[in-house]
Amino acid sequence: MKILNTLSLLSLAVIGSKAMKNISSKELVKDLTIGWSLGNTLDATCFETLDYNKNPIASETCWGNVKTTQELYYKLSDLGFNTFRIPTTWSGHFGDAPDYKINDQWMKRVREIVDYALNTGGYAILNIHHETWNHAFQKNLDSAKKILVAIWKQIAAEFADYDEHLIFEGMNEPRKVGDANEWNGGDYEGWSFVNEMNDLFVKTIRATGGNNALRHLMIPTYAACVMDNAVNNFKFPSGDDKVIVSLHSYSPYNFALNNGAGAISNFNDGSEIDWVMNIINSNFISKGIPVIIGEFGAMNRNNEDDRERWAEYYIKKATSLGIPCVIWDNGYFEGEGERFGLINRSTLQVVYPKLVNGLIKGLGNSIKTRTTVRKTTTTASQSQPTNDNSCFSVNLGYSCCNGCEVVYTDSDGKWGVENGNWCGIKSSCNSASRSCWSERLGYPCCQSTSSVVYTDNDGKWGVENGNWCGIY
């Protein structure tokens, strides 16, 4: 044990060439439960304050979020998330025409984070985000097409051997930035631009070979919005059953997104959510066209009880139609901006456990019982909640947690989530001081994880915050 270091433990298993399941996107989305977005991270841009040539990967943290870790994704997976959107801005990280060569260090870092997500056994969605070259004006179309083809050819080549757990999303909210029609559903110019770019994206990926011939792809409406005019003028490709419509909906607007006049903090009316789901159903779901709501959320207004009710209502409606949803988390919790933070990425503390509770409750029986597989260069083990009778939850039909992290408290007791299922926190977790065999070897006891990543003659080992710890 002592000759191993943290880096060797955390180094990820290389995802080699894997057989791609030849299933339709309509079938694929059935396996997606609830999703989480790594917002304001790889999509951050600091062109005026950073020297991208000197440090090509510094932009990951330039909007205030910390460097992304594998443990963050393991934590999210344990909470029940199995779909991970990775918004990524490529501008500033590629060279000049005609090759538009992506910086090798940036591509490597993007791949590392994609692997973090996939190592949970879940799904990753990789896109292009916050670009300026694809604003939906006719005058931009020719140059935008050249850049889109060049960038996506390189991304597709990098991930050609990845299986169906990696999804590509062609564009994020393509629209006429700064125009009067930017957020009102678009006009003919904008619709035509988006349709042509979507068509080119699909053809580009399909032509790159490897598993990309069967890659599941997401394409947006104008601005990824659900307004009638954007939806009615959207062209969905025929003859390809591995394409998904990408939509965003922060609804109800005044509760979820509005940060100005008219904003409200109480959720008492789900009619706007109902309207959104009816539009999606009538235009796509009822016609056999799969949809992922790639962004949704409700910002913090010191109203977690209302957000819990909102989350359950929203997810219940979407789940009834077979629509997976990916919540937006930009890592911001306070201040005057868009406060969509959910989990503290430094401490891995769930800042708003009731909101997570609402998301999970909204899924109902659709959330799948999963074992958590930790991929490392040494060994991978599985962990599941135990049916130990030493906690209150057994009498309520729930297992006891292996770990001690509390994500929700009610009149029954303290609750955690492991492998996507609720479990009760054992009374032993309340002990002020706990000890285990690893302490005599100079390593702490694991406090919140029960996931075994290595076993030797001393016992079972886990990792917390990049450090070895002993499993009780």
Q: Helix 141-158 vs helix 104-118: angle between axes, to the nearest 10 degrees?
A: 60
Residue type, position 85, single letter: R
The dihedral through the CA atoms of 54, 57, 62, 63 has a sign that is positive
- Of 143-152, 154-163, 419-428, least confident by mean pLDDT is 419-428
Residue 398 has pLDDT above 60, yes or no: yes
Each residue of 314-350: pLDDT tens digit? Answer: 999 999 999 999 999 999 999 989 999 999 999 999 9
Interstrand relation of 414-418 and 243-248 (parallel, antiparallel or unpaired): unpaired
What's residue 221's pLDDT?
Answer: 98
Range 399-416 average pLDDT: 76
Residue 15 has pLDDT above 90, yes or no: no
Which strand (E) or helix (H) includes residue 105? helix 104-118
What's residue 355's pLDDT?
Answer: 96
Residue % of the chain over a pLDDT of 90: 72
Catalytic residue among 71, 173, 308, 464: 173
Q: What is the Cα–Cα distance from 366 to 381, expressed in whole angstroms? A: 25
Catalytic residue among 169, 295, 308, 418: 295
Residue 58 has pLDDT above 50, yes or no: yes
Each residue of 198-252: pLDDT tens digit? Answer: 999 999 999 998 899 999 999 999 999 999 999 999 999 999 999 999 999 999 9
Q: Is 338 a catalytic residue?
A: no
Answer with the residue of higher pLDDT: 423 or 264: 264
Residue 18 has pLDDT above 80, yes or no: no
Pick the closest to residue 385 from 372, 376, 366 (CA basis).
Answer: 372
Answer with the residue of higher pLDDT: 112 or 454: 112
Range 248-260 average pLDDT: 97
233: tokens are: 């003028």
Q: Is 295 a catalytic residue?
A: yes
Each residue of 68-90: pLDDT tens digit? Answer: 999 999 999 999 999 999 999 99
391 — pLDDT class (breaks 50, 70, 90): confident
